[in-house]
Structure 1
Amino acid sequence: MREFLVELTTVVPEGTDPAEADRIRAAEAVRARELASRGHLLRLWRPVGELRSIGVWCADDERELREKVLGSLPLWPWMTAVVTPLQEHPNDPGRAR
């Protein structure tokens, strides 16, 4: 599988019932754990004071990432994604792991 750096921004549509948004966020947390257990979500961060998330995700290719991995997130219809394919760096201290 290839690794991708993904920046996700979620915007809840105006007029959405807060209870519905909370239900979808709870489902999102469950799905993220499932994707992590399957090796698709390696790391996820939220920059301090920002509403976007940055993560390292894995898939066979970008199409699978967008359609099957990210597309399976309950919040996906409310998200925009910036996907950057990653490659190994010869000086990466994590390569030896």
Structure 2
Amino acid sequence: MNEFLVELTTTVPEGTDPAEAGRRRAAEAVRAKELASAGHLVRLWRPAGELRSIGVWRADDEADLHEKVLGTLPLWPWMTAVVTALQPHPNDPGPTGRTA
């Protein structure tokens, strides 16, 4: 699988019932765990003080990432995504064993 750096920004449409937004956010957490278990979601961060997320995701290719991975997120219709394909760097130290 290929790795991608993905920046996601979610904007709940004006006038959306808060209960609907809450249901989608709860479903989003469940789906994220499923995608992590399947090896698609590797890491996910939220920049301090911001409402966007930055993560490392895995998929066969960018089309697969959009259609079969990100497109399955309950909040996807309200998201914008910036996707950057990644490749190994010769100086990458590899996993450090640290956990967040």
TM-score band w.r.t. shorter chain: over 0.9
Shift of 1:69: 0.2
The aligned residue for residue 69 of structure 2 is: 69
Cα offsets for 1:40-90 (capped at 9, x unmatched): 000000000111100000000000000110000000000000000000001
Superposition pairs for residues 9-88 of structure 1, below 5 Å? 9-88=9-88
Shift of 1:96: 8.9
Percent of matched pairs sharing the same residue: 81
What TM-score do you get using the length of structure 2 for normalisation?
A: 0.94
SS at structure 2 position matched to 1:48: coil
The CA RMSD over aligned residues, in Å, is 1.4
Cα offsets for 1:9-68 (capped at 9, x unmatched): 000000011111000000000000000000000000000011110000000000000011
Cα distance change, pair 21–72 in 1 and its aligned pair in 2 (3 A)? same
Equivalent pairs, count: 97
2:48 and 2:41 map into 1 onto residues whose CA distance is 20
- Structure 1 segments of 4 or more deviating over 6 A? none
Consecutive unaligned residues of structure 1, counting only runs of 5 or more, are: none
For 1:29, give the aligned amino acid.
A
For 2:33, give the aligned amino acid.
R
Cα distance change, pair 43–17 in 1 and its aligned pair in 2 (3 A)? same
1:38 and 1:67 map into 2 onto residues whose CA distance is 15
For 2:26, give the aligned amino acid.
A
What TM-score do you get using the length of structure 1 for normalisation?
A: 0.97
